Amino acid sequence: MILSDTHELHREVDVPSGDILFHGGDFTMFSRSLSAIDDFNDWLGELPHRVKSVVPGNHEFFLERDPSRRSLLGNATVLINESIEVDGLRIWGSPVMPLANVAFGMSSAEDRRRLYTQIPKNTDVLITHGPPYGILDSALGSGVHSGCRELFDAVMRVRPKLHVFGHVHGAHGIFQTNDTMFVNAALLGLDGGIDKDPIVLRMSRR
């Protein structure tokens, strides 16, 4: 089960059951409310999924400034430029965005390129907060592509089975290539409310 960009409205989401939950970040509103962070963790603990993995988003300053605060999300595994293996699936997650003045912003294209070379070639599931350039990175009718070109190049190199992301509200959906299923799971609509449902997929090992 895949979702992203819930922005403290997680309890308004109708969550289907499943084995694994991926959250692509922006579960806070600029990390302003500690009680909202606690409630998000409590909500994660109430869900039936055996495995929960969360990548922070550009709103999660509290995790960027103090990595020890991962403990506030004890009901999930928080991935910050690192990998885990779950049920035979190799997962790598990163919150990095090609922006300045946001949480986990990395404005240097060269720094992002260097970071993404760390993604293992055998990665099955890639979770990033932001999209790759040109894929589900533009709200309908906007004509503005906000995805990362260096991330796109990395995805073309690694060719994961699944690439999960969010960030771009209004671009929710699935795009399939021969190698990779791309999922923009941002649930927050352009009007500021939850207007999409989580995406449910069935995955098999390579």
73-89 pLDDT, tens digit each: 999 999 999 999 998 99
At residue 204 the predicted structure's pLDDT band, cuts being 50, 70 and 90, is low
Dump the DSSP string for 90-126.
EEEEE--BS-SSSTTB---HHHHHHHHTTS-TT-SEE
Residue-wise burial string across 146-169, b where 16 or more C-beta atoms lie within 10 A, e elsewhere: bbbebbbbbbeebebbbbbbbbbb
Domain 2-184: give its CATH architecture.
4-Layer Sandwich (3.60)
Between CA 84 and CA 51 the distance in angstroms is: 11
Spatial contact of 187 and 197, defined as CB atoms under 8 Å apart: yes
pLDDT at 205 over 60: no
Dist. CA 81–CA 115, nearest whole Å? 8
pLDDT at 20: 96
**pLDDT band with cut points at 50, 70 and 90 for residue 67:** confident
pLDDT confidence of residue 76 = 98
One-letter amino acid for residue 49 of the chain: H
Q: What is the pLDDT of residue 139?
A: 87
Q: Is the pLDDT of residue 21 over 60?
A: yes
Q: In this model, does residue 95 exceed pLDDT 80?
A: yes
pTM attached to this predicted model:
0.95
Domain ranges of the chain: 2-184
pLDDT confidence tier of residue 203, bands split at 50, 70 and 90:
confident
pLDDT confidence of residue 157: 98
